[in-house]
Every structure is written in C-alpha cells, then in structure tokens.
Structure 1
Amino acid sequence: MEWKKGTIDGVITQKLVKYVDERGFLTETVRLDQLPEGLQPVMSYVSYTEPGVSRGPHEHEEQTDIFAFIGPGNFKVRLWDNREGSETYGKYMEFYVGQDSPTTVVIPPGIVHGYKNVSKTERGMVINYPDRLFMGWGKKELIDEIRHEDDTTSPFQMES
C-alpha cells in the first residue's frame, strides 16, 4: 500500500497555551470537556526520551492515547490510519510538537503512532493519559499493543 498524507478521522490535535509569569508557566494538558464524548483517561504516566531516539511505531486495539507534548524537548510525530473500513484508511500525518509548539494529541485505537525526539541535546518529556490501564486491573491482562518498530520491513517507519 502507498500511504498518502492527509488528516485522519478521530485524531485530534489541540494547541496548548502556556500561561507565563515570573514563577514559570502553567498549561492545561487535558480537560474532559474538550475530549470526545465518552473518552475518559484512567491513568497517566510521564516518559522522557533521549535526543534522536524514537518510541514506536506501535498501535493499540482498544486503547486511546492522549499525549501531551509541552516540553522540555521537541518531537516529530507520525500517525498512520491502519483501520480497514475507515474513510481515511491509508492516510498518514506528520507534525512537530513540544516545547516550541505545546500540543495535546488524541490517538484512537487502530492508528499506528510513533514519535521521535528531534532536540539536539535536550531529553524530551511526554505525558500520556490513556483510557485503558496498562495490562488491565492489577496488571493481570495482556498488553494492548502491536509493535512495529522492530520490523525493518514494516510500512510504518519513523524516517521517510
């Protein structure tokens, strides 16, 4: 399949506002009144990614990820609509977010996603508010993740 650049149904990007004063800044990263109806985060975690390093691409069968890229660091994000039957199946998106462009990104199930820290020297931080518990209640379930990053023949690559 040849992937075509375009918007993907269900993916939401929301530019964030940093309220800055002499103390530093404050940013609202997630508000239930700004999420699709019925989408509710059930946990959160913070990850740091070293400069030049990618996470993903991978996808979830049931989980929606709600990533907040506020800095430190800047990221290239790539998304592919891998949902057969979707009106945007076969489309991909690529954009830059992070310290220079604070953004929350909502990624529904079936959207392959990955991001790369494009900062030269700065470790990049990402906050995620998924709508599923990692490994389920009490960490007793299988991980809802299909990993593509280790397959060099996968059509999902962070570098074009």
Structure 2
Amino acid sequence: MANWKKDKISGVIIQKLVKHVDERGYLTETMRVDELPEGLNPIMSYVSYTEPGVSRGPHEHVEQTDIFSFIGPGNFKIKLWDNREKSDTYGNYMLLYGGEDNPITVIIPPGIIHGYKNVSKTARGMVINYPDKLFMGWGKKDAVDEIRHEDEANSPFSMED
C-alpha cells in the first residue's frame, strides 16, 4: 500500500467551468468532445443528487473513465487517490472542492480511487457524469465495473479528513 502524499495525479484533468449569466439565469458548458483527451468517448450520462453531509464512494473502476461535472446546486469535497502501481504518481492523492461556488469538470481515469461528499449545510447537491462505459454493459447484462472501498473495513480511503 502506498504512503499517500498530497500532489497532482497523472491523467486527472480539472477544467474550470464558466457560468454565462444573463437576465434569464445562466448557461454552463459541462463537457465538450473537442476538449476531451484523444480517444475518450463518453457513452452515457446521468445526474445524481446527494443529500447534505452524505458521501458517494470512495470507489474505483477497472476500465471506466468518469467525467464528473460539479456545477451546483450544492458544493462538494472531492478526494482522489492514485492506486495504479505502474503510475508515475502512484501514492499521490488530491483534495478538490467543486460545485456551485467553484464549477468544475473532473476527468478521472480507471484505477483512480475517487469519492465526493456534499459539504453544503442544506442544499441537495447535483453531479452530472459522462462515463465512457455503459453501466453494466450493453443491455445491463455485465458485471458492474466498480471496486467499492467504502464497504471495506479499515479502508485507508476515507472522505473524512
């Protein structure tokens, strides 16, 4: 097991999002194919809402890349750990904040353990994901590509500080 140190993680991309505001509200581009790494092809999308104080993850994928957009409502603490033994940044972790106050898209390659926690006091937080694999494969007939570290006793991966 790595001795985790706070630093950048190879392959993780953080894109600051812009809110274009006018009298109608705002518009934010959350994902553009022409701004993705070459060969990354999102294949589905979903929206999740997370209650205040609740975490999702940490977990990792063997093959799937996640493209998460944190735009609000709500604000999130996001933690990433590079668990890829052959990576030049193996053992690094990142701590980010994204959401209503800091709209970002985060691209997370396979093997990066990740989780997020809604740190808002009262707002249910929204996250959009554009993964490059179908959940449970075509027709939902395959195994789920997910290693759930939040279910492990004494896991070294925690959303708490």
In structure 1, the residue matched to 2:48 is 47
TM-score w.r.t. the length of structure 2 is 0.98
The aligned amino acid for 2:158 is Q
TM-superposed CA distance for 1:93, in Å, is 0.1
In structure 2, the residue matched to 1:150 is 151
Give the distance between the partners of 1:23 and 1:59, measured in 2 at CA. 39
Is residue 134 of structure 2 the alignment partner of residue 136 of structure 1? no
Give the distance between the partners of 2:76 and 2:98, measured in 1 at CA. 5
In structure 2, the residue matched to 1:11 is 12
Deviations 1:38-73 (A, max 9, x none): 101000000000000000000000000000000000
TM-superposed CA distance for 1:31, in Å, is 0.4
TM-superposed CA distance for 1:95, in Å, is 1.0
Structure-to-structure mapping, 1:69-148, within 5 angstroms: 69-148=70-149
The aligned amino acid for 1:109 is P
The aligned amino acid for 1:50 is E
TM-superposed CA distance for 1:79, in Å, is 0.1
Q: CA RMSD in A?
A: 0.6
Give the distance between the partners of 1:24 and 1:124, measured in 2 at CA. 18
The aligned amino acid for 2:55 is S
Moved over 2 A (4+): none
Which runs of no fewer than 5 residues in structure 2 stay unpaired? none
The aligned amino acid for 1:71 is G
The aligned amino acid for 2:27 is L
The aligned amino acid for 1:144 is D
Q: Provide the secondary structure at the position in 2 that maps to 1:105.
A: strand
Which runs of no fewer than 5 residues in structure 1 stay unpaired? none
Give the distance between the partners of 1:127 and 1:59, measured in 2 at CA. 17
In structure 2, the residue matched to 1:62 is 63
Q: Provide the secondary structure at the position in 2 that maps to 1:149.
A: helix
Q: What is the percent sequence identity of the aligned residues?
A: 76
The aligned amino acid for 1:70 is I
The aligned amino acid for 1:42 is I
TM-superposed CA distance for 1:152, in Å, is 3.5
Give the distance between the partners of 2:7 and 2:33, measured in 1 at CA. 27
Q: Provide the secondary structure at the position in 1 that maps to 2:87.
A: coil
